[in-house]
Structure formats: structure tokens, C-alpha cells
Amino acid sequence: MERDYLFKIGDNIVYPMQGAGTVTAIEEKDLFGEKQNYYIINLLNNMQIMIPSEKISAIGIRFVTDSNTLETVLSNLRSVDLYTNESFTYKERYTINMTKIKSGDLIQSSEVIHDLMILEKGKALNSSEKQMLNSAKKLLLSEISLAKGLTEEEADTLLCSSVYN
């Protein structure tokens, strides 16, 4: 029986909170006596994951952004203004930023990275925000790498030049 899948083998995708990767297979597995189809995804951080096909939309997996859209997002990062109000307490800012990252939305995630990089330039971030910045950057760098065919180092240079002009 032919099934209609959201993604095909070879598609580049983004898994929120995990990063970018490629669908390498779609396999039928027998789990607890029930047959299910699974996407096999190789993430750029050398991790392989299996996701049931019926859960793929609920998880928020999406296609890697095209190069033109990515350029627009990167050009928006050149703003010196913060996207999050500076008057928020650390806890409020952390909650807002975590919600944005978990959304898996490229624009929202890039806003978090922008704000934390700008804040870090002015003063040292606390350990939680520093960890958040590093994690969010890795996620965005993996998408930039796949979308533009760059190494992680080249993607990092592109991101930093976008934020710091």
C-alpha cells in the first residue's frame, strides 16, 4: 500500500530543540505488536533519531528554510535594537526566550540569538543565558549550514557578521 508522507527521503528538515538534519529513510517497525512507519533522521550533530510518522507534525518538524528567506532573517539581525524589552527581569526574559526557541520558528529563534549576543557584548551573561545562547546558536548554525551548504565555522562567521555588522 502506497503511503503519502509529509517528508521524503533526502529532505532537509529542522527538529525544534535538536537542530537540522536529513531524512535518510522511512521504515515500518513493529512496536508492541503494532506496525508503525518511522522517519529516520540523521541530525548534523551525528545523532540519528526515529520519529513515528503520525507524530511528525505535532513535534513541529519543518523543512529547512530556503537560502533567500535565510538571507532576509540574517539581514534582520543587523538591527541594534533588542527584540525583547530590556526592562524584563532575567526570569521573564528567560521564559520568553525559551518559548521562542521551543517554537522551532526560525525568526523567533534568531531574535533570541540576536538579543543574547547583543546583551553579551555589553556585559557577561549569566550561566543560564550563556547556555541558552550556545544551544540556540547551534540549532541556527545547523540550519544555516544545510540551507547554504556551509561548514559550521563558515555559518558561525556569517551569523556573527550579521549580528555585529
Instruction: Please give the average per-residue pLDDT across 84-112, as a whole number.
Output: 88
In this predicted structure, the answer to whether residue 123 has a pLDDT above a threshold of 90 is no
What does the alpha-carbon distance between residue 102 and residue 8 come to, in Å, rounded to a whole number? 24
- State the pLDDT at residue 1: 40
CA 92 to chain centre: 22
What does the alpha-carbon distance between residue 4 and residue 16 come to, in Å, rounded to a whole number? 23
Strand partners, 13: 21, 63
Instruction: Please give the average per-residue pLDDT across 69-88, as a whole number.
Output: 81
In this predicted structure, the answer to whether residue 111 has a pLDDT above a threshold of 70 is yes
Q: Angle formed by the axes of helices 106-122 and 90-103, to 10°?
A: 150
- State the pLDDT at residue 124: 86
pTM here is: 0.83
Strand partners, 15: 19
CA angle 113, 114, 119 (to 5 degrees): 100
What domains sit in the chain, N to C, each tagged with a CATH number? 12-63 (2.40.10.170), 67-164 (1.20.58.1290)
At residue 144 the predicted structure's pLDDT band, cuts being 50, 70 and 90, is very high
In this predicted structure, the answer to whether residue 158 has a pLDDT above a threshold of 70 is yes
For 40-78, what is each residue's pLDDT tens digit?
999 988 899 999 998 988 888 999 999 899 998 998 888
- State the pLDDT at residue 141: 94
